Amino acid sequence: MNARPVCTVEELRTLFLFEKLDDDQLAQLCRAGRVEVIEPGPVYREGDQATCFYVLIEGSVVLTKLSGGRDVEMVRTSHRGAYAGAWNAYMGDRIPQIYNGSMAVPERSTFFVLDASDFARFMAEWFPMALHLLEGLFFGNQNSREILDQRERLLALGSLSAGLTHELNNPAAAAVRATSSLRDRVAGMRHKLGMIASGTYEPATLQALIGIQEEAVELIAKAPTLSPMEEADREDALGGWLEGHGIADGWNLAPNFVQAGLDVDWLEGVAAAVEPPILAGAVAWLNYTIETELLMNEISDSTARITALVGAAKQYSQLDRAPFQVSDVHELLDSTLVMLAGKIGGVEVVRNYDRALPRVPVYAAELNQVWTNLIDNAVGAMAGGGTLTVRTYRDGDRLAVSIADTGTGIPEEIRSRIFEPFFTTKAVGEGTGLGLDISWRIVDKHHGDIRVESQPGHTEFVVRIPLTVPEGDNDA
């Protein structure tokens, strides 16, 4: 029978997470923790009570998160010192102490394992200032989890339109990238805070750095938009300053400072606040703050974009509204255009709305289907280029919606048949021939009509619906 592996100070010191701890701290870790060999398979599951903090010594780990009822792989690594588990135990009962993801080992692996309560105790005793900073970062990370939740809800609406999925992809991907990068910056911040807590900085120096840190956060919020030439000039100036002050990797740090709206004068203030021997460490620590703020801004912008798409999807689907209601037709048209943005692609969209038109009583979700069919056909007729014009105006006692395109037009010999069921000019498998038939029946249900005029370079469908509910309409 193999003996249980022994925890040694020497081995812990080889792990980047612990490399700056002193011998006494490493000895305390060894006494409180243990080295475990774990066979291939799951180690813990997302949602389970978080009881242990794991640091990889040898082998590999796979970290996953649940999305749509399925495990999505987030990280797969064999890097010594990689950690996972109850790392937020230091938050105590302020948050549910559960695992935020799942961990498995694909091969026989060795870990240093620390009980969550011991991890929290050491954090409180050794890094009191770090706890305050990490608390802020933790709640910032909650935003990223909310983004993932929103993304799952939004993807459920993908069946409404390919356009929604297309529009969601960019902000969602940006949020995921920013979240991944933010995780790395949090790890780096913890490492730097460990160095700070070890006594490298005098209290007065720390106070000055914290003041500079707060100033940096304020400047990031007001960062100007620069031209590519201005950015390049600032990067050259900052990179030269950093290199001249012996800051390693200064040219890679410069773009972050430029994006944050910081300049050489600001760096001079940092240099004046600290002693030369610790300038490099102070700049690196402040860089983590800058990167974290920029990443959280990226997540915030992505969240705002996703929220706007949620509103458009809700408006389009009318899932939270009564079937028959008084609606603003412009809101319906705009939500449809958002949903079809992926298909519209490079087509120029011109909106010519008569905002003086009153709200009208309609079956909003059904009317959106009409706009979808007409806009989709118009875009298809232009083969990815041209101009789509959506216009509203009053026509007597009716509201008129015109949808015009600059496509090839509808040949006169088939114009009389376009509203027939199953009639289509599209290739087999590309259309059912029911879109215009369904549209005609929906408009007829509203006691309205559809007219079409077409010639090469200009096709226009006009939908007219009553401004008021016709007398004797029991459906209303």
355-384 residue pLDDT tens: 999 999 888 878 888 888 888 888 888 877
Among the residue ranges 109-113, 256-260, 353-357, the one predicted with the least confidence is 256-260
State the average pLDDT for the chain.
77
Residue 68: per-residue pLDDT: 41
Residue 461: per-residue pLDDT: 92
Domains and CATH numbers, the chain: 1-125 (2.60.120.10), 127-317 (no CATH), 322-466 (3.30.565.10)
Q: pLDDT at residue 314 above 70?
A: no
**What is the distance between the alpha carbons of residues 308 and 424, in angstroms, rounded to a whole number?**
35
Residues 6+ apart with CB under 8 A from 263: 234, 237, 238, 257
175-214 residue pLDDT tens: 666 666 666 666 666 666 665 556 566 677 677 777 777 7
Helix (H) or strand (E) holding 61: strand 61-67
**What is the distance between the alpha carbons of residues 459 and 381, in angstroms, rounded to a whole number?**
9
Candidates 284, 143, 266; CA nearest to 215 is 266
**What is the distance between the alpha carbons of residues 343 and 58, in angstroms, rounded to a whole number?**
49
165: tokens are 């999925």
Q: pLDDT at residue 442 above 60?
A: yes
Cα angle at 226 between 221 and 232, to 5 degrees? 120
Tell me the pLDDT band of 1, cut-offs 50, 70 and 90: very low
**What is the distance between the alpha carbons of residues 302 and 310, in angstroms, rounded to a whole number?**
12
Contact criterion met (CB below 8 Å) for 442 and 367: yes
Q: pLDDT at residue 39 above 80?
A: yes
118: tokens are 């011991």
Contact criterion met (CB below 8 Å) for 447 and 466: yes
Residues 6+ apart with CB under 8 A from 251: 235, 239, 242, 243
Residue 90: Cβ within 10 Å count: 20
Q: What is the mean pLDDT of residues 15-27?
A: 89
